[in-house]
Amino acid sequence: MKSKSMFIVCLLIMLAAALAVAAPQDKKGLTFSASEPVLLTSAGQSADSQIVKVLLERNKIAVKFLPLGGPEDLAGIKTLVIAVGGSSKGLGAAGIDADKELARVQKILDQAKAAGIPVLAMHVGGISKRGELSDRFISQVLAVSSCLLAVKEGDQDGFLTQTAAKGKVPAQFVERISELQEPLKSIFGRK
Amino acid sequence: MSASCSDNVINSHPEAEARDLNNKASVKIATAALTGLLAVISLIAPAVTGAGGVGVQIPAPSAAALSIPSKEEITLLVTDSGLGGLSIMAETAARLKGAGIARKVHLVFVNALFSNESGYNSLRSRGEKSLVFSSALRGMERAVRPDAIVIGCNTLSVVYEETEFARTTRIPVERIIDPGVALFRRALERRPEAALVLFGTETTIGEGTHRQALAASGIPAARVHAKACPELAAYIENDWKGEEARFVIASYVDEALTALPQPKPPVYAGLVCTHYGYSRELWEAAFKENGVRLLEILNPNSALTDRLMQVMPAGRFKETAIDAQVISMVEIAAAKRKALGNWLGGISPEVAAALANYQLRPDLFEWKSLVTPR
């Protein structure tokens, strides 16, 4: 009887350990690290890029902010940070449509890859930045990203997790936008 | 008077701004010519200005335009692109109860937004904006039959004068621009060392109407700065005290204050979008984080309500019964209604209830045939 109980306890401990190893999300201590200066651009033209800018600046990370940046803007840059989130209003205000934005983003991603510049994707808009428009940009950017930081609310259907896993992109999810500061500090060596 | 609106404007989309420079140059030349003509006229003709100074003036609808008929029951229509103007309607509802201007006032808010996927700031040109807004006003007139219209929206107020509706309507219309300009002018005259930073939508800031009016009233252009805040109204509507609004406001405030000359003067923050006042505490926090001395947040919403109370014939009745209604051509999400309802309920339970039970009218006005698809 005693050995049966011990066996069940050991089984439970092994199961817990296996689950901890298998779960890629919310993993504390991403192995991804990056250098400055950073070029911050948008994929989708939502004002979420303003949120990412504040997160970077508050942690004194040197950032050049160009929502409509192009490949030529990567000169001298060590990391490309992309705030992913589609906004019809943002696209309209910028005078472009979704296809032109996808083309612009693709050019900068291609140049980053050619220059060996890692891409950090950030999705901070939660559920409001999910849907047909945003998901196109998410798929595009995560296909070539080195890391994803995101607010959990935007992943209720697992799309971000699955897309990141498909590209073998390490990902960290947080409950609130302000909690993204810790992984950013870790990535840029501010800890 | 300077005809240039581009001084002291801090851009969030410098690349997009560069593409428009050539087109705007010819507009500025025409504006300069018109301004010069107005200056000559003002020297040879007596003028009463709604902006508080004699001299070159921006044509102002002002108090004379809003003449509420002396009826026992009045219908007052408030419009905005989005829900910022509801705060004006709520304050008006609260103050009308004891004003005695009529036995009953029907307050009707009509959302002039034509699509949740777009907005007036996303339209290609000024011409499209005025066409769509004119169509919206005609639809509102048919649906509501108002005695007066209040444009509780800075973006639509700057577009209004160009609409066909403005040229032909007999309904008195009040815009938020004039009370806002008067509020800013009084503050800047009180504190000659202070600067004013206007925060508004791309259209409001790009048109430069407030800056032109302040310059016309004698405020030096160097004291007035402007910052366009793309999409901020949408974040505030979704959650006026949430993290997203907090970070976006912090970003725009930081950009605006970084652009001020050194040494940084004490600052008035002028909120020239009727949505922005919902998040007053977030604006205060953003200024505090930047370490710049904020003298006051100036919100024209209350100034507009003050103006309405001044021009309406008060004291005719012991009290005024109020009912409120909200009409929208686009869906207003339940979460938005709840978030803003909490804010509005503190001022006017009638307006909060009207928002909760808003009427969806998808065919309120035509717009698709008036815009060029992207």
- Reported as a single tens digit per residue, the pLDDT across A128-173 is 999 999 999 999 999 999 999 999 999 999 999 999 999 999 999 9
Question: A-chain residues within 8 Å CB-CB of B250?
Answer: 54
Q: Tell me the C-alpha distance between B46 and A159, whole Å.
A: 67
pLDDT of B360 reads: 98
Structure tokens at A58: 């508050």
How high is the pLDDT of residue A145? 98
Backbone dihedral angles phi then psi of residue B108, each to the nearest 5 degrees: -125, 120
Higher-confidence residue: B137 or A3? B137
The pLDDT of residue B70 is: 74
Angle, vertex CA B5, rays to CA B3 and CA B11, nearest 5: 165
Quick check: B27 pLDDT over 70?
Answer: no
**Cross-strand pairs, B106:** B75, B323
pLDDT of residue B348: 97
Distance from CA of A136 to the nearest CA of B (A): 16
Residue B317, by phi and psi: left (phi above 0), alpha (psi -120 to 50) or beta? beta
User: Two tokens at B124?
Assistant: 């290609």
For B44: left if phi > 0, alpha if psi spans -120 to 50, otherwise beta; the answer is alpha
* pLDDT tens profile B215-231: 999 999 999 999 999 99
* Cβ–Cβ contact B150 with A under 8 A: no
Reading the block at residue B77, the tokens are 């229509």
Q: Residue B13 is nearest to which of A68, A124, A126, comparing CB atoms?
A: A68
Q: Which DSSP state fits B261?
A: P
A60-107 pLDDT, tens digit per residue, is 999 999 999 999 999 999 999 999 999 998 998 898 999 999 999 999
Structure tokens at B209: 């109407």
pTM above 0.95, yes or no: no
- Residue A16's pLDDT band (boundaries 50, 70, 90)? low
Res. B150: pLDDT tops 50 = yes
Which residue, among B123, B83, B60, has the nearest Cα to B278 in the 3D structure? B83
Across the interface, of A55, A94, A128, the residue whose CB is closest to B13 is: A94
pLDDT value at residue B19 = 47
How far, in Å, CA of B295 to CA of A142, rounded? 45
Per-residue pLDDT for B23 more than 90?
no
Whether A50 and B12 lie within 8 Å, measured CB to CB: yes
Asked if the Cβ–Cβ distance from A67 to B12 is below 8 Å, we say yes
DSSP notation for B94-115: HHHTTT-S-SEEEEEEEE----
Q: CA B2, CA B87: separation in Å to the nearest integer?
A: 34
Q: How far apart are CA B183 and CA B91, in angstroms?
A: 17
What's the pLDDT band for A2 if we cut at 50, 70, 90? low
Chain centre distance of CA B242: 23
Give me the pLDDT at residue B75, please: 96
Predicted ipTM of the assembly: 0.85
Closest CA to B110 of B62, B156, B163: B156
Tokens for A56, please give them.
């970077």
A187 Cβ partners below 8 Å, 6+ apart? A30, A32, A33, A34, A120, A147
Interatomic CA distance for residues B346 and A4, integer angstroms: 63
Q: Which residues of B touch A85 (CB under 8 A)?
A: none
Average pLDDT score over residue span B106-134 = 95
Contact B75, B145 (CB under 8 A): yes
Residue B43, pLDDT > 90, answer no
pLDDT-derived band at B367 (thresholds 50, 70, 90) equals: very high
pLDDT at B50: 36
Q: Sort out which chain B residues have CB atoms less than 8 A from A53's CB and list them.
A: 251
Of B16, B232, B247, the CB nearest to A54: B247
Residue B100 — pLDDT band, cuts 50, 70, 90?
A: confident
Of B243, B251, B374, the CB nearest to A97: B374
How far is CA B247 from its chain centroid?
A: 23
The residue among B231, B237, B246, B258 with the most chain A CBs within 10 A of its CB, best to mutate, is B231
CB atoms within 10 A of CB B313: 14
Give the Cα separation of B122 and B202 in Å (integer): 9
Name the band, by pLDDT with cuts 50, 70 and 90, for residue A15: low
Q: Using an 8 Å CB-CB cutoff, list chain B residues near A91.
A: 122, 374
**Non-local CB neighbours of B22 within 8 Å, separated by 6+ positions:** none
Tokens 């304050």 -> residue: B91
Residue type, B324: A
Q: Which of A19-23, A145-149, B28-32 has the lowest mean pLDDT?
A: B28-32
Amino acid in position B138: R
| Tokens found for residue B337 | 């209604």
CB-based contact B118 A178, cutoff 8 Å: no
Amino acid type, A142: L
Summarised one tens digit per residue, pLDDT across range B53-71 is: 333 334 434 433 456 767 8
Interface test with B, best of A42, A48, A54 (most B CBs within 10 A): A54
Predicted local confidence at residue B67, as pLDDT: 67
- Residue of B90, B88, B107 whose CA lies nearest to B352: B90
Place of tokens 């030349």: B29
Q: What is the three-class DSSP state of B119? A: coil
Bridge-based pairing state of the strands A171-174 and A147-151: parallel
Is 60 exceeded by the pLDDT of residue B47? Answer: no
Residue reference for tokens 């501010």 = A190
